[in-house]
Amino acid sequence: MKRFVAYYSRTKKNKELAKYISEKLNIPSDEIIDTSNRKGYWGFFKSGFATMIRSGSKIKKSKIDPIDQDHVIVCSPIWVGMLPPATRSYLKNNKDRLRDIIFVSISGMGKENKLLKNDIKNVYGKYPKAMLLLTEPEFEKGVWKEKVDEFLKQLT
C-alpha cells in the first residue's frame, strides 16, 4: 500500500503528530507550506477571517505527488471548526489526484468539531476514509500517542 503524510502546522503540534505517524508507518511526509504570513495578531486575525469565509491560500507545490498513492494521511489543525486555508488549498488543488484521505488533527475541540466532516467533503468531494480528532489537552498530557497507535492499528 502506497501512502504518505501531508501536514500543515502553524504551532508545530500537528507537525509533531505527522512526524510521529510517518515514523510509525515508515512512510514519507510532506509539509503543506502556506506562503501567507500567519504570525502575530494580524496574522491570527487574517487566518480566522479566511477560515470563516472558507478561503484558501497560496501554498508551495508539494514535493510528493498524491496521484500514485492509495491514500494520503492529512494532518492539520482545525480552525473555528473548519479546515485552515492552507489545508483547504491542498485538498482543493489535489482533489482529482487524491484517491482517499485519512484526516488526523490536534485542535482545541478535537472530535467536537461538528462542521469539519462536511467542510472536507465540500472541498475534496467526499468524506475522509477515516478521521482521528485529538484535543490540545490530550497532546499536552501526552496521551495522544496511545490514541494514534490504536487508530493506526485499525487502518492496517
Residue 30 makes CB contacts below 8 A (sequence gap 6+) with 4, 5, 6, 7, 62, 63, 64
Distance CA 151, CA 79 (A): 23
The average confidence (pLDDT) of the chain is 89
Question: Is 15 in contact with 108 (CB distance < 8 Å)?
Answer: no
Q: What is the mean pLDDT of residues 68-95?
A: 93
Instruction: Supply the pLDDT for residue 113.
Output: 85
Q: What is the pLDDT of residues 99-133, one digit of tens each?
A: 999 999 999 888 888 889 999 999 999 999 999 99
Among 18-32, 55-69, 136-150, the minimum mean pLDDT is found in 55-69
Residue indicated by cell numbers 501531508:
6
Q: The domain spanning residue 120 has which CATH number?
A: 3.40.50.360
Structure-block grid coordinates of residue 121: 467533503
∠ CA 58-111-90 to the nearest 5 degrees? 15
Based on its alpha-carbon atoms, the radius of gyration of the chain, rounded to whole angstroms, reads 14
Alpha helices in 100-143 (DSSP H): 116-124, 136-141
Residue with cell 478535537: 110
pLDDT classification of 68: cutoffs 50, 70, 90: confident
Domain count, the chain: 1
Q: Which domain holds residue 43?
A: 3-155
Which pLDDT band, with edges at 50, 70 and 90, does 8 fall under?
A: very high
